[in-house]
Amino acid sequence: MPDNPHPTPGTAQDAAKPQDSTTALRILLVEDNAINQTVAVRLLEKQGYRVRVARNGREALAALEKDRFDLVLMDLQMPEMDGFEATRAIRQEEQGTDRHLPIIAMTAHAMKGDREKCLAAGMDDYLSKPIQKEKLFETVAEHASRRSGLPLSGAPAGGPSPAARSAESATGGVIDLAAALEHLDGDLELLAEGAGMFLEDCPVMMSAVQQAVEQKDSTALMRAAHSLKGSLATFAARPAVAAALRLELMGRQGSLVQADAACRELEAAVERLKPALADLAKRFTP
């Protein structure tokens, strides 16, 4: 594992350059979740794209003032400035010019009407998380080719390695390993790296959820549960994802009557998940 597995906001994450380095697509990834950052950067770099990370809308606008990008992948729910506000600011700057920067929205477990809301806000397309690699590559290539005339590039062939197949029994049923690896282009080392990151970040994320429940803060609960759910989805940990989604919806709807019980359900699901993630991190991290 590299010394700093978390992509550094504001620093270009350069991939191995394609044959013609002048055609390498420059992508701004706007995402506050460290695990989602790592996954998206690694997948995009494998395609030969150059990726820079911003943790929220304000950092994204600052990056766009300094550098040129060919496309933006924009998370919706972020602290300080969300994806909708950042997109509106970008489109306002473009008014009266011939510029139009492609912006692709990304969000976990899309709600009804989210796609329409994104398009109305000025975004060009929409991806749901956890990211499906084929859909990610297809969407990025489509908008890149429209903007710059670059040729479309297909998703690389891949699949579970023998090591990945041997790891299936170690997950104890709390992780759908095949589904998780499908999202990650069969990269077991990337999954193991994400597992280690989650175990490191989990206490802080769970504390945020628990504190929001204790204080009956609907907005804080929605945000904390959404962030945790986004990390859990990387591992196709369906029981834990479902428990986090339940709390997110409670926060979104402002109805916390059953939040204590739902929080206990989430705690139990995460505790069942931890040993499997620890085993993955131990066995398959380089």
Average pLDDT of the chain to the nearest whole number = 83
Q: Which tokens go with 21?
A: 């380095």
Higher per-residue pLDDT: 144 or 124: 124
pLDDT (tens digit, 9 = 90+) per residue, 164-177? 555 554 555 678 88
pLDDT (tens digit, 9 = 90+) per residue, 237-265? 999 999 999 999 999 999 999 999 999 99
Predicted model pTM: 0.75
pLDDT (tens digit, 9 = 90+) per residue, 37-90? 999 999 999 889 999 999 999 999 999 999 999 999 999 988 889 999 999 999
Q: Which tokens go with 34?
A: 């460290």
CB atoms within 10 A of CB 58: 17
pLDDT (tens digit, 9 = 90+) per residue, 6-20? 454 444 344 334 434
Our CA angle for 152, 67, 116, nearest 5°, is: 60
Q: Which tokens go with 48?
A: 């030969």
pLDDT (tens digit, 9 = 90+) per residue, 175-205? 888 888 888 888 899 999 999 999 999 999 9
Our CA angle for 61, 62, 66, nearest 5°, is: 115
Strands 26-30 and 12-13: unpaired
Most confidently predicted of 18-22, 154-158, 204-208, 281-285: 204-208
Instruction: Report the distance separating Cα 189 and Cα 197, nearest Å.
Output: 12
Show Cβ contacts of residue 8 under 8 Å, excluding neighbours closer than 6 positions: 53
Instruction: Say which residue the tokens 């969300």 belong to.
Output: 82
Show Cβ contacts of residue 77 under 8 Å, excluding neighbours closer than 6 positions: 83, 107, 223, 226, 227
Instruction: Report the distance separating Cα 72 and Cα 132, nearest Å.
Output: 17
